[in-house]
């Protein structure tokens, strides 16, 4: 059974940092791209970042470029999202997800079939 479990969320002041973790199990982790998404109240889920399985290619939404860094540790079956210089508009539930088939990076919600339950990130002003 594919499982993805997020952790590391919390309450932080604007300008602060958090590191989210996504622990995966139930599949060959190194063979799949992993994405981070977020959903704020009343808004659609959006792709924040992704990392491919093969060469570690990454992609970021313009709103987080230069502030967020995605990485993966295939030995630990874990993907991380380091979030620096956080802003109140980063407040959302953050989800990690596994691509359905392909190993390449994508920030399209429709490209992912397996999702974690999410972790809340709240940035106060």
pLDDT band at 58 (very low <50, low <70, confident <90, very high): very high
Burial class (CB in 10 A: 0-12, 13-18, 19+), 62: exposed
For residue 81, give the nearest of 12, 32, 19 by alpha carbon.
Answer: 19
Report pLDDT for 113.
93
| Torsions phi, psi for 30 (to 5 deg) | -70, -10
**pLDDT > 90 fraction of the chain, expressed in percent and rounded:** 92
pLDDT in tens, 80-123: 999 999 999 999 999 999 998 878 899 999 999 999 999 999 99
Report pLDDT for 54.
78
Residues 5-30, mean pLDDT to the nearest whole number: 97
Q: Is the Cα torsion angle 1, 49, 100, 94 positive or negative in sign?
A: positive
Q: Is the Cα torsion angle 99, 86, 121, 38 positive or negative in sign?
A: negative
């Amino acid at each position: 059974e594919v499982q993805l479990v997020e952790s590391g969320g919390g309450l932080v002041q604007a300008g602060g940092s958090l590191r989210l973790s996504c622990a995966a199990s139930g599949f060959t982790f190194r063979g799949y791209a992993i994405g981070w998404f977020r959903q704020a109240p009343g808004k659609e889920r959006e792709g924040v970042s992704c990392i491919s399985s093969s060469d570690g290619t990454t992609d970021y939404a313009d709103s987080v470029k230069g502030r967020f860094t995605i990485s993966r540790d295939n030995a630990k079956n874990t993907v991380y999202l380091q979030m620096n210089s956080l802003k109140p508009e980063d407040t959302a539930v953050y989800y990690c997800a596994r691509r359905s088939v392909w190993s390449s990076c994508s920030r399209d919600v429709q490209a992912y079939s397996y999702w974690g339950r999410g972790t809340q990130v709240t940035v106060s002003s």
